[in-house]
Structure 1
Amino acid sequence: MSTTTASKGVQFALLEGRLLAGDIDKAGFIAQATELGLPRADIADAADKFIAIAVNQAVRSADLRASYDYIVVGSGAAGSVVARRLAEKRDTRVLLLEAGGNDLHASILVTETWFYSQGGEFDWAFSAEPDAHVNQRSIAQAMGKALGGGTSINGMVWARGHQHDFDYWERAADDSAWGYRHVLDIYRRIEDWHGAPDPARRGSGGEVFVQPAPDAAPIASAFLAGAAGLGIPTFADQNGAMQEGPGGGAITNVRIRDGRRLNMPASYLYPVMDQDNLTVLRNAHVRRLTSDGDTITGVEFEWRGSIHSVAASAEVVLSAGAIQTPKLLMLSGIGDQAQLDRFGIPVLSALPGVGQNFQDHPIIGGGLWEAPGPLPTRNNAAEANLFTKSRPGLATPDLHLWQVEAPYLSEVTMQYASENVWSISPGLARPESRGFLRLKSANPYDAVEIHANMLGDARDLIALREGMRIAREIGNSEAMKPFVKREILPGPVEGEALDDLIRNGAMSMHHPTCTAKMGRDDMSVVDAKLRVYGVKNLRIADGSVMPRITTGNTQAPCVIIGERLAEILND
């Protein structure tokens, strides 16, 4: 999609980006924004705001301090939240370090083609090690490399997680503040929900704009009708009551407004980036944490061709994600002693759980149908989804199926794609498989080894067989007939042939989590207050601290993690 055909929301955000970069002045901004037909008051306010941000951040970066109260590493779903909440205390000086660059680019902002950003310039483009469980394939692991982290390249889905997820977190942490009741209070406080009213569960007026995919394509409703025909209930809201029960389907909750992506900086960072107590550095690559004895004193990072060391008088918060956060811990001497000894890294805190317990959501690119004609994509092209159980005895839904208005396939199954095709892709919301991360070297620019072990536990393959069956029944249902010319995949395959299709079609939903888990056992890395065991002045706030992956997309629960840490630090 070209920028000239992009929505007004995208074009306006691109103008804001040009204003930040100094590529356009205020008069030019107002003139071009006026041509979009937007309210003049909104245009003028945006011009003043983004000019103030540009001036403030230029001043802050030109005169870096030797010390800040807090240093936050990573600007993703949790890091943006932590930096914002800390900066709201105007006497607190905050440094936010982001390894990626600017987020106001068309390839980030345009919603319908978000998947093209994965593997591109805004993705770290990590890959798991080849694994026999996925036919010796190396599964791509997308991680955002821009302001906003993963929220700048994800599918914009707002999936809160199931009630049972947070009840489990509460037990693991032995802290009721991680339980569903308190988490629900946070969700109500931060949300600006534009859907069916549900005051007991949904909030309004908060930072996080969320709505059901607007003007969803007819095929999305047909998918839900097909699911209903199998006895899977449908709901007006994918979150709320649906995430307190045995499952169901709904139009997808999305972080899209006026046709543009809303990443977390849009909601949390940009509103405060004109404050003189917040410094945001892009393209700042953190190499390691600095320490004195068992106290973390700050960070060492590369920025603008030079190595800088900056101190944190209060604390450092790692929010670099479930792949990069364990790497930084290990490079700084926090991790399994045998791994650290292997590369001659002095041990600061021997924590064998660092990099262990890796969890991710597999999704299978193995359900494909041809439509009678072109099928335009809308919103995030995945406007309907459902949760259900692979077997009746489960307490919580373990399957997560998506209707996708495009071919959503692996590099192997993509050979079956042709014109006018769409997908139903079954995913596993509660995988049993566990992987791990390892350092390749002590070089901070080397990626870690990712041993994802996807489908390594036989129970995951059994569950996904059922997911494929459900996908096929919905795709060939009476409700879907107007959108079906023929079924391409999976077809009537069973046994080893079906297992082979699942292994060849397996992809990551790009939800790596749990590699520095919160808990009280010997493999835990942080406590209930997100303090790293064995050191002082270091906390973690990102998906790595999850004791177990949540049921559904992980963006919203990572925001909760950021909000919880903000509550802890601001007590």
Structure 2
Amino acid sequence: MQFDYIIAGGGSAGCVLAARLSEDPRVTVCLIEAGGMGRSFFIRAPAMVAAMVPGRPPIHNWALHTVPQAGLNGRRGFQPRGKALGGSSAINAMLYVRGHPSDFDAWADLGAEGWDWQSVLPWFRRSEGNARGADDLHGATGPLQVCDQSAPRKITEAFVRACAEVQIPTNPDFNGASQEGAGLYQVTQFHQGARKGQRCSVAAAYLHQVMRRPNLTVLTGALVDRITLAEGRATGLIVQTRDGEKSLTARREVIVAAGSFGSPALLLRSGIGPEQELRVHGIAVAHALPGVGQNLQDHLDYTISHHSRRPDVVGLNPRGLWRLAKAGWRWRKTGAGLFASPMAEGGAFVKSRADLPVPDLQMHFVIGIVDQHMRKLHLADGFSAHVCVLRPESRGSVGLLDANPASPPRIDTGFLSDPRDLALLMRGARITESLLASPALAPWVGKRLYPHGGSDAALEADIRARADTIYHPVGTCRMGQDALAVVDPALRVRGLAGLRVVDASVMPRLIGGNTNAACVMIAERAAEMIRRRPS
């Protein structure tokens, strides 16, 4: 089978690319996704994030694990990633956050020429269909529907007041003129039409409605084995399908969009990467590229959970389950209420010191108890306050366990390998504890799940015992112009023709916020680059 463009991975970036490239009827596009169509009830109902993220069973979830982490007492971290069209936008909390403008200026300074804030802002605006309307910073007509939450809990509003009581200002728009402050997250959720209140995954936003285009082929339940190469050029993909192995040929380009774990793993299986890593697994070196799989960065999250004295939160006791059942019925009829909640309703971007130019900590306030990614269940009504370091100094890597495409990648997040991250996370934990002790939250705050005793040594021990990802891995095929860059600023794999990487793996540095909106922006811009500057 031959196509002009073949896209490996139907996640957020892959869905944008398939939709945008197939707008040109003169070209043919094939999108390959290992998961399903991304239309299930679990995906459409926002509250079902609580069922998908734990990966028990793995519903639309790769449910990956890291190698033992020295900085986390030797624990293996859990890494949920979306396995369906839409990728992780099908299982995330739907929070629409772009990061700080200075993050993109830093990308440009690191060699990603043309990815500064003023250059990327038009692509954010192009993708965004914000219910608040358009202005200099926002778009209103883009495919990705963005809106305010329909019915945030009273405890979330109290969280915002609690932040004000500890001198964290209130901010109605984290993507506005200033990121700093506390407020309610906007969400990627349908805000009009028959799907009002449903999750607006990137597949629902961009892809589902155009899948009947005659020039677009979408293969689901298909696992990409490797990229085929000839004379320094990517020529296609070998794919494992239900009907056996297939060889697909790309007349113009192969585009890898399998995410920060899947993309480097695919390059490595294809013989593209560090020579030593390839030889360990008996893979012939097709193109030595030492940066593949390096530079992994992720947000390490520390969670403080409490029982709630009031029942207007989520609990797994009979009373709480009855409330959820009633909320589900209401959501099916109106698209509103608790079932439409992202669960992580409130948050804040905080400076650990007043003299900092930008926030260096982020908070997520969840209206239920989150323990071990909701893998450890608690019957009590409760809530969780999360804090993470926005721009960690620690670095990890992604490699292979073996050359089998069905095997998970080897993930080493390197959490807390740089001591600066621990010191900053401890400061974030202290700020979080102070706001949880504020008068605004007093009517709700009950028993703390994991009291640590109060000392710095006890807090450090608790962080090492319980902290883990809040699901923002990036950087493993980073763009730049130095010897360890994997792709150039046009996202072309260095030293090979006809091959690009387009997803969060190309970020040179982790942004100060949730990563999905930036991933969509990257794909929007990449689609235009591909049309104008073929590889």
Q: TM-score under structure 2 normalisation?
A: 0.90
Q: Which residue of 2 aligns with 1:383?
A: 345
Query: What secondary structure is seen at the aligned counterpart in 1 of 2:67?
Result: coil
Q: Which residue of 1 aligns with 2:360?
A: 398
Say yes or no: does 1:85 pair with 2:24: no
Indicate conservation of the 8 Å contact 1:301/1:309, yes or no: yes
Q: 1:113 pairs with 36, 43, 48, which one?
A: 48
Q: Is 510-519 or 439-448 further displaced after alignment?
A: 439-448
Say yes or no: does 1:307 pair with 2:250: no
What are the Cα deviations for residues 22-46 of structure 1, in whole angstroms up to 9, with x where unaligned? Answer: xxxxxxxxxxxxxxxxxxxxxxxxx
Query: What secondary structure is seen at the aligned counterpart in 2 of 1:532?
Result: coil
Indicate conservation of the 8 Å contact 1:129/1:450, yes or no: yes
Q: Is 295-304 or 388-397 further displaced after alignment?
A: 388-397
Say yes or no: does 1:175 pair with 2:136: no
Q: Distance in 1 between matches of 2:357 and 2:286?
A: 41
Residue identity opposite 1:525 in structure 2: V
Say yes or no: does 1:456 pair with 2:417: yes
Q: 1:147 pairs with 77, 85, 88, which one?
A: 85
Q: Which residue of 2 aligns with 1:253?
A: 186
Identity of aligned residues (%): 37
Residue identity opposite 1:513 in structure 2: V
Q: Which residue of 1 aligns with 2:263?
A: 325
Q: Rate the CA distance shift 1:202–1:411 in 2: closer, same or farther, 3 A.
A: closer
Structure with the bigger RCO (C-alpha within 8 Å, sep 6+) is: 2
Query: What secondary structure is seen at the aligned counterpart in 2 of 1:224?
Result: helix
Indicate conservation of the 8 Å contact 2:307/2:380, yes or no: no
Q: Which residue of 1 aligns with 2:437?
A: 476
What are the Cα deviations for residues 341-399 of structure 1, in whole angstroms up to 9, with x where unaligned? Answer: 22222212211110001111111123434333352455111111101122344332121
Q: Which residue of 2 aligns with 1:522?
A: 483
Q: 2:60 pairs with 117, 122, 133, which one?
A: 122
Q: Which residue of 2 aligns with 1:21?
A: none
Determine which structure has the larger helix proportion and give its number: 1
Say yes or no: does 1:466 pair with 2:401: no
Q: Distance in 1 between matches of 2:370 and 2:389?
A: 16
Q: 1:137 pairs with 64, 75, 79, which one?
A: 75
Q: Which residue of 2 aligns with 1:41?
A: none
Q: Which residue of 2 aligns with 1:28?
A: none
Report 1:425-504 matches (<5 A).
425-490=386-451, 492-504=453-465
Query: What secondary structure is seen at the aligned counterpart in 2 of 1:138?
Result: strand
Q: Which residue of 1 aligns with 2:142?
A: 206
Alignment length, in residue pairs? Answer: 500
Q: Rate the CA distance shift 1:127–1:174 in 2: closer, same or farther, 3 A.
A: closer
Query: What secondary structure is seen at the aligned counterpart in 2 of 1:536?
Result: coil
Residue identity opposite 1:503 in structure 2: R
In the alignment, structure 2 segments of 5+ residues that lack a partner are 191-195, 315-337
Say yes or no: does 1:67 pair with 2:67: no
Q: 2:311 pairs with 369, 373, 376, which one?
A: 373
Indicate conservation of the 8 Å contact 2:304/2:448, yes or no: no
Indicate conservation of the 8 Å contact 1:68/1:94, yes or no: yes
Deviation at 1:418, TM superposition (A): 4.8
What are the Cα deviations for residues 204-254 of structure 1, in whole angstroms up to 9, with x where unaligned? Answer: 1111110122221111111111111122111221212233xxx21221111
Q: Distance in 2 between matches of 1:126 and 1:557?
A: 23
Q: Distance in 1 between matches of 2:376 and 2:441?
A: 22
Indicate conservation of the 8 Å contact 2:172/2:183, yes or no: yes
Residue identity opposite 1:205 in structure 2: T
Deviation at 1:438, TM superposition (A): 1.9
Q: Which residue of 1 aligns with 2:498?
A: 537
Q: Which residue of 1 aligns with 2:274?
A: 336
Q: Which residue of 1 aligns with 2:322?
A: none
Q: Is 384-393 or 367-376 further displaced after alignment?
A: 367-376
Q: Which residue of 2 aligns with 1:191?
A: 128
What are the Cα deviations for residues 107-155 of structure 1, in whole angstroms up to 9, with x where unaligned? Answer: 2221113032121131111100112211111110111111111111111
Q: Which residue of 1 aligns with 2:160?
A: 224
Q: Rate the CA distance shift 1:136–1:328 in 2: closer, same or farther, 3 A.
A: same
Indicate conservation of the 8 Å contact 1:358/1:436, yes or no: yes
Deviation at 1:276, TM superposition (A): 0.2
Q: Which residue of 2 aligns with 1:234?
A: 170
Q: Distance in 1 between matches of 2:103 and 2:267?
A: 26
In the alignment, structure 1 segments of 5+ residues that lack a partner are 1-65
Q: Which residue of 2 aligns with 1:419?
A: 380
Q: Distance in 2 between matches of 1:412 and 1:491?
A: 20
Q: 2:293 pairs with 346, 349, 355, which one?
A: 355
Indicate conservation of the 8 Å contact 2:306/2:446, yes or no: no
Deviation at 1:300, TM superposition (A): 0.3
Q: Distance in 2 between matches of 1:394 and 1:514?
A: 25
Q: Is 376-385 or 136-145 further displaced after alignment?
A: 376-385
Q: Distance in 1 between matches of 2:500 and 2:356?
A: 34
Q: Distance in 2 between matches of 1:159 and 1:215?
A: 19
Q: Rate the CA distance shift 1:208–1:412 in 2: closer, same or farther, 3 A.
A: closer
Q: Distance in 2 between matches of 1:497 and 1:359?
A: 26
Indicate conservation of the 8 Å contact 1:367/1:490, yes or no: no
Indicate conservation of the 8 Å contact 2:50/2:374, yes or no: no
Deviation at 1:476, TM superposition (A): 1.5
Indicate conservation of the 8 Å contact 1:74/1:319, yes or no: yes
Indicate conservation of the 8 Å contact 2:452/2:458, yes or no: no
Q: TM-score under structure 1 normalisation?
A: 0.85
Residue identity opposite 1:337 in structure 2: E
Residue identity opposite 1:312 in structure 2: A
Residue identity opposite 1:106 in structure 2: F
Deviation at 1:317, TM superposition (A): 0.4
What are the Cα deviations for residues 44-101 of structure 1, in whole angstroms up to 9, with x where unaligned? Answer: xxxxxxxxxxxxxxxxxxxxxx210000111111111111110000111000000111
Residue identity opposite 2:356 in structure 1: L
Deviation at 1:173, TM superposition (A): 3.1
Query: What secondary structure is seen at the aligned counterpart in 2 of 1:383?
Result: strand
Q: Distance in 2 between matches of 1:413 and 1:479?
A: 30
Deviation at 1:410, TM superposition (A): 2.0
Deviation at 1:512, TM superposition (A): 1.3
Indicate conservation of the 8 Å contact 1:212/1:237, yes or no: no
Deviation at 1:103, TM superposition (A): 1.3
Q: Distance in 2 between matches of 1:393 and 1:448?
A: 41
Indicate conservation of the 8 Å contact 1:299/1:311, yes or no: yes
Indicate conservation of the 8 Å contact 1:407/1:423, yes or no: yes
Indicate conservation of the 8 Å contact 2:112/2:479, yes or no: no
Q: Distance in 2 between matches of 1:412 and 1:316?
A: 37
Indicate conservation of the 8 Å contact 1:369/1:475, yes or no: no
Residue identity opposite 2:475 in structure 1: C
